[in-house]
């Protein structure tokens, strides 16, 4: 919870007048923190299907054990290791697993979502390393439309107005719900897109605070804009209307013009280990002046970071969004961010732009939709940029009160951020073809992309034993409050072309089958996670959960977490790894595998004509 302390004396920094008379410090996490996000307006288009969505099912224990047994076989280092694990699976299924399954079904019957709280904490809120690199994600945007002014201020203003319009439509329930051919998907996490912020828990568990108001129609709200580490409060609504692009641009240009020097890089504190950030947060919040700034940031609809960097190639562009630049031994990019905000737009000095997202309460698909719709609005020459009135608000600078303790914390956070960033390697590549060509071969582009990764990994490592599984997430949003499930997913010259094609098709079909099962809540990992969570403190941990093969299969390889997605004309892969890993070689193998799979199918297609 947030405790309010008595007013403390302070020296206001560089002209900022404090906005409150009390300090806000974090103590213990509220038990019902997630219920603080207000329910959407009833009967609206966006959330109309929420009440009819089914609950996430508890899979049959027998089926989960069968899938687990099959998934472990490719991971086994020997026949003996596999047989040992297989016996432990059987013992679990016939023994303690039956009681744990009973408990899980009971929990499912008595809760709206048996997994939600466990997954929030186990997957995100309890994670204590930096969210930067490890958890946060990013998207790079297309260039600013040619019919619009080509300045960073204009680009930021256009993004701001379009995003505020999206926010307004969302709050009014006017956005068509996400869906598939089978029906609508759960829209619950959209409640955590705007007006909220993650906070670092001093007791080892983070949570998010929301300032969204029940019944709000999106006619009010402010942004926080960062430039050279300095935060500014920007009012983007006035008298019940969203300001015009021109009015917002004037405010942002004012920020550019009035922020010429570097300010204390308080934002880098948010990139620290979460326990360290929790201590630094409360040191920061011990001043009522600083608490006012924290409140302004946390309650902002979203954040825009005006970054001094000017990335000129795909790798620099990716890294600038992912973690920002390093200059003079300082993490200058992260100093100008607030990585706890779920939506953080970034605009560079050369007019490039993108988004950095906070992952704990919302997966990437809602922000993909946000970004797509924002960019589509701006590309439309008929987009309503609004009309400027005679008076435009002036943004308010939010200058921190910096004590020697906070200054030292910034220095230490800079050091940790620099070490983290410099430990990472990033490769970027595009194939010479895209999903249009892949579909002509009768193959799912997603399965094709995954087969490329598998083939490249195999060629890179040869016959070395695998030390981790391949992670691919499937959405379970067809269920109420659903998020994700894990999908547990040939290079022999002696094998004929026909046989290679046959093996590829079998693997691709298996991938599709596993992906569909995971999307139906019939995966392995979340079920086993739930069963293990129901072990009592005085109960012995079943041998299955400590089996070396099982534990290895639950280790998602962090050496090459591949972020790739299909475009109309290309397949794009962004390969991230620790510095010591053969990142460049893996990129080469990805391209070679992509070419070989294409030639395998193109040759077969020609021979059949």
Cβ distance 346 to 155 under 8 Å? Answer: no
Assigned token pair, 62: 């027998």
| Residues in contact with 510: Cβ distance below 8 Å, sequence separation at least 6, in sequence order | none
Over the Cα atoms of the chain, what is R_g? 25
Q: Which residues pair with 488 in a beta bridge?
A: 471
Burial 246-282 (b: 16+ CB within 10 A, else e): bbbbbbbbbbbeebeeebbbbbbbbbbbbebbbebbb
Q: How far is CA 466 from the centre of its chain?
A: 27
Q: CA-CA-CA-CA torsion for 273, 278, 282, 284, nearest 10 degrees?
A: 30
Residue ranges with strand state E in 380-491: 396-398, 424-430, 471-475, 484-488
Residues in CB range of 386: below 8 A, 6 or more apart? 161, 241, 242, 243, 244, 245, 246, 247
Q: How many CB atoms within 10 Å of residue 544?
A: 25
162's CB contacts (< 8 A; 6+ apart) are: 373, 374, 375, 377, 378, 383
Determine the Cα–Cα distance for residues 483 and 119; give it in Å rounded to an integer.
9
Written as six digits, the tokens of 222 are 């402010």
Q: State the virtual CA torsion across 49, 119, 457, 449 in degrees, nearest 10.
A: 10
Q: What backbone phi and psi angles, to 5 degrees, belong to 591?
A: -65, -45
Is 359 labeled as catalytic in the residue annotation?
yes
Q: Which of 113, 295, 359, 601 is catalytic?
A: 359
Residue 410: partners with Cβ closer than 8 Å, 6 or more residues away:
264, 265, 266, 268, 269, 335
User: How many whole angstroms separate alpha carbon 276 and alpha carbon 258?
Assistant: 32
- Residues 76 and 550: their CA atoms lie apart, in Å, by 9
What do you get for the CA distance between the two ends of the chain, in Å? 69
Distances (CA, A) of 93 to 482, 518, 531: 26, 20, 11
E strand or H helix at 308, and its extent?
Answer: none
* Contact status, residue 10 vs residue 39, Cβ threshold 8 Å: no
d(CA 374, CA 165) in angstroms, rounded, equals: 9
Asked if 297 and 29 touch (Cβ cutoff 8 Å), the reply is: no
SS3 (DSSP) at 217 = coil
Q: Which two tokens stand for residue 72?
A: 């472990």
Catalytic residues: 359
């Amino acid at each position: 919870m947030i405790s309010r302390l008595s007013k403390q004396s302070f020296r206001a920094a560089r002209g900022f007048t404090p906005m409150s008379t009390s300090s806000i410090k974090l103590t213990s996490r509220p038990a019902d923190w997630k219920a603080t996000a207000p329910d959407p307006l009833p009967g609206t288009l966006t959330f109309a299907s929420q009440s009819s969505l089914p609950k996430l099912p508890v899979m049959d224990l027998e089926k989960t054990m069968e899938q687990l047994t099959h998934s472990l076989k490719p991971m086994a280092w020997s026949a003996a290791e596999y047989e040992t694990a297989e016996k432990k699976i059987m013992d679990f299924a016939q023994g303690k697993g039956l009681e744990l399954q009973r408990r899980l079904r009971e929990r499912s019957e008595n809760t709206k979502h048996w997994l939600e709280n466990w997954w929030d904490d186990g997957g995100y809120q309890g994670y204590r390393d930096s969210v930067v690199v490890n958890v946060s994600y990013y998207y790079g945007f297309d260039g600013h439309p040619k019919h619009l002014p080509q300045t960073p201020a204009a680009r930021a203003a256009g993004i701001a107005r379009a995003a505020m319009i999206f926010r307004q439509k969302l709050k009014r329930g006017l956005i068509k719900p996400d869906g598939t051919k089978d029906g609508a998907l759960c829209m619950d996490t959209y409640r955590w897109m705007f007006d909220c912020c993650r906070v670092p828990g001093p007791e080892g568990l983070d949570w998010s605070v929301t300032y969204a108001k029940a019944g709000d129609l999106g006619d009010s709200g402010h942004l926080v804009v960062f430039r050279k580490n300095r935060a500014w409060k920007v009012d983007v609504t006035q008298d019940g209307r969203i300001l015009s692009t021109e009015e917002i641009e004037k405010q942002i240009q004012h920020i550019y013009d009035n922020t010429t020097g570097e300010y204390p890089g308080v934002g880098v504190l948010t990139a620290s280990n979460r326990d360290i950030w929790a201590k630094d947060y409360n040191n920061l919040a011990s001043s009522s002046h600083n608490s006012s700034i924290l409140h302004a940031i946390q309650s902002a609809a979203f954040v825009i970071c005006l970054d001094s960097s000017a990335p000129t190639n795909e790798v620099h562009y990716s890294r600038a969004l992912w973690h920002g630049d390093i200059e003079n031994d300082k993490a200058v990019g992260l100093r100008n961010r607030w990585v706890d905000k779920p939506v953080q737009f970034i605009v560079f000095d050369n007019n490039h732009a993108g988004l950095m997202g906070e992952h704990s309460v919302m997966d990437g698909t809602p922000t993909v939709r946000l970004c797509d719709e924002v960019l589509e609005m701006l590309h439309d020459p008929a987009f309503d940029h609004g009309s400027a009135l005679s008076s435009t608000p002036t943004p308010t600078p939010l200058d921190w009160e910096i004590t020697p303790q906070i200054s030292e914390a910034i220095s230490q956070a800079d050091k940790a951020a620099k070490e983290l960033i410099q430990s990472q390697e990033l490769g970027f590549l595009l194939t010479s073809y895209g999903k249009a060509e892949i579909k002509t071969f009768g193959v799912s582009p997603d399965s094709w992309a995954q087969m490329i990764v598998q083939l490249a990994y195999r060629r890179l490592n040869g016959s070395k034993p695998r030390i981790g599984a391949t992670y691919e997430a499937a959405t379970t949003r067809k269920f109420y409050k659903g998020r994700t499930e894990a999908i547990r997913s040939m290079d022999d010259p002696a094998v004929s072309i026909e046989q290679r094609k046959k093996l590829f098709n079998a693997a691709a079909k298996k991938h599709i089958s596993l992906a569909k099962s995971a999307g139906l809540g019939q995966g392995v990992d979340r079920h086993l996670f739930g069963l293990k969570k129901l072990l009592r403190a005085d109960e012995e941990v079943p041998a299955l959960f400590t089996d070396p093969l099982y534990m290895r299969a639950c280790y998602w390889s962090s050496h090459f977490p591949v972020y790739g997605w299909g475009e109309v004309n290309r397949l794009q892969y962004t390969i991230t790894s620790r510095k010591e890993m053969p990142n460049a070689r893996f990129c080469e193998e990805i391209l070679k595998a992509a070419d070989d799979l294409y030639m395998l199918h193109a040759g077969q297609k020609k021979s059949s004509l």
